[in-house]
Amino acid sequence: MRIAGVNDRHLKDGVIDSEERFVSIVKCAKIDDSDSVHQATLESLNLIGGLESLVSPGDTVLLKPNMVCHFDYRTGAVTNPHLLRAMCQLAREAGAKRIIIAESSAWSYDNTMQGFANNGITEIAREEGAELVDLITADTVGMGIPDGRVFRRLQLPEILMQADVLINLPVMKTHDVFPATLSLKNLNGLLRQEDKKRFHRWGLSQSIVDLNKLMLPQLTVIDGTIAMEGGGPVYGTPVNLGIIISSFDTVAADTVAANVMGINPSEIEYLKLAAEQGLGCMDMSHIKVCGSSINDVKKKFKINRVDFNSYREQGIIIHESGNCSGCRHFMESLLTIHMKDNVDLLKGYTVILGQTATPPKKIEGELLCFGSCTRRYRNQGAYIAGCSPHFGDVIEYLKARKGEH
């Protein structure tokens, strides 16, 4: 596989240069129709130079969709199967000999193949002659990241090494830790289940960037046919946006997508870090948008906003200070999504989170310190590590504590 494969047109002496990056936005007339999605995808790719400029005859092409769960694609949670069919057909027309569709569901679902089946992707793979791979059960190989800042070595699926071209097919969604999850974040599906949780503990944003340093896709096609707002990436509200965004520069694609969502790209920490560390361009003055303009398709996506003080009457005291967007989104999503039906598990706790948070002089109930920034207070109460913490770790701890009483 061509590791960290930015298209050669963006390389100068092995370094991504500052020339203009092309990002296409194309409207899709019928988001549930294969022919319509195929035509929009083809147009989107042709506007940036065509798939044949990337795929050579005889290549092995690996398609990485978003199959975070088994939900129907009409919820906006997973990649539109019509887009996957189109990419299989277009890759074959460009000369690909072998096509692989590979993904793993989130750690809390562990049912990738069910998601493929529920969305007709199993049938699509059979009809288009593509291989379907559940990365949860795939063999892995250790790979080094010389310039990794959090991870210097990761176990990644061995099948990735067999691919000449990696094409990323994320869905445009809001997220429970970041304002949005887009292309860079979608590569987390390449990870072993235990590493998905480890990324949270060690620092999610930089870990995502380290992974992309190793496996940066050559092409990104963002599925905005049915997007998601609110409680993404799984429990939000579908947005029938009807667009496809493509680019050979993953960072530029995410930057344009964030602007379409009405989100400041610099507020997405992993995107900002990726640009700063040379993975692509986030400067709109160097990004050429082709096809539809951002303003033609822009829609302000709803993002969860919670008044933490409103939980005080339920016996849940939350003190935040100096929060980054990650911890803020984490706490909002913990309360309204992941613990929506059992928020009482937090009753009787005083929670602190944020870079400058300190325990109150009078602690009501037990102290619970969330996130790496509160580590210095771990001896005064319970401490759950992570930047931001993983929802599963929090819920497991609280359930275990309840069982003690």
For the chain, the distance separating the N- and C-terminal CA atoms, rounded to the nearest angstrom, is 53
Mean pLDDT, the chain, rounded, equals 92
Q: Please state whether 82 falls in left (phi above 0), alpha (psi between -120 and 50) or beta.
A: alpha
User: Six-digit token pair at 335?
Assistant: 């309360």
Whole-angstrom CA distances from 84 to 74, 105, 223 are 14, 17, 10
pLDDT at 52: 96
Does the pLDDT at position 397 exceed 90? yes
pLDDT at 107: 76
Report the C-alpha gap between 370 and 316 in whole angstroms: 14
Q: Letter for the amino acid at 84?
A: L
- Reported as a single tens digit per residue, the pLDDT across 361-377 is 889 999 999 999 999 99
pLDDT at 337: 85
Question: Could you tell me if 332 and 304 are in contact, meaning their C-beta atoms sit under 8 angstroms apart?
Answer: yes
Better pLDDT: 106 or 184: 184
Does the pLDDT at position 212 exceed 60? yes
Does the pLDDT at position 268 exceed 50? yes
- Reported as a single tens digit per residue, the pLDDT across 378-392 is 999 999 999 889 888
pLDDT at 404: 54
- Reported as a single tens digit per residue, the pLDDT across 281-322 is 999 999 999 999 999 999 999 988 888 999 999 999 999 888
Cβ partners under 8 Å of residue 282, min gap 6: 251, 252, 255, 265, 266, 271, 272, 274, 275
Better pLDDT: 156 or 404: 156
How many whole angstroms from its chain centre is CA 385?
A: 21
Please name which of 217, 298, 288 lies closest in space to residue 49, comparing C-alpha atoms: 288
Q: CB 202: neighbour CB atoms within 10 A?
A: 18
Q: CB 240: neighbour CB atoms within 10 A?
A: 13
Is pTM beyond 0.85 here?
A: yes
Whole-angstrom CA distances from 8 to 99, 288, 333 are 22, 17, 40
Radius of gyration (Cα) for the chain, nearest Å? 21
Nearest 5°: phi and psi at 392? -60, -40
pLDDT at 9: 43
65 CB-side CA count, 13 A = 35
- Reported as a single tens digit per residue, the pLDDT across 98-108 is 999 999 998 77
Look up the CATH superfamily of 8-297: LarA, N-terminal domain (3.40.50.11440)
Angle at alpha carbon of residue 252, lines to 225 and 299, rounded to 5°: 40
Report the C-alpha gap between 186 and 387 in whole angstroms: 18
User: Six-digit token pair at 87?
Assistant: 């990419």
The percentage of residues in the chain with a pLDDT greater than 70, rounded to a whole number, is 95
Report the C-alpha gap between 107 and 35 in whole angstroms: 34
Does the pLDDT at position 15 exceed 80? no
Does the pLDDT at position 275 exceed 90? yes
pLDDT at 109: 74
Sheet with strand 382-384: strands edge to edge: 316-320, 349-353, 366-370, 382-384
Does the pLDDT at position 4 exceed 80? no
Question: Could you tell me if 133 and 122 are in contact, meaning their C-beta atoms sit under 8 angstroms apart?
Answer: no
Report the C-alpha gap between 140 and 340 in whole angstroms: 36
Nearest 5°: phi and psi at 381? -175, -160
Task: Considering the chain, tell me which residue range(s) the CATH 3.40.50.11440 domain(s) occupy.
Answer: 8-297
- Reported as a single tens digit per residue, the pLDDT across 114-151 is 999 999 999 999 999 999 999 999 999 999 999 999 99
Please name which of 379, 373, 376, 372 lies closest in space to residue 393, comparing C-alpha atoms: 372
Burial (0-12, 13-18, 19+ Cβ within 10 Å), 259 = middle
Better pLDDT: 185 or 403: 185
Nearest 5°: phi and psi at 238? -65, 145
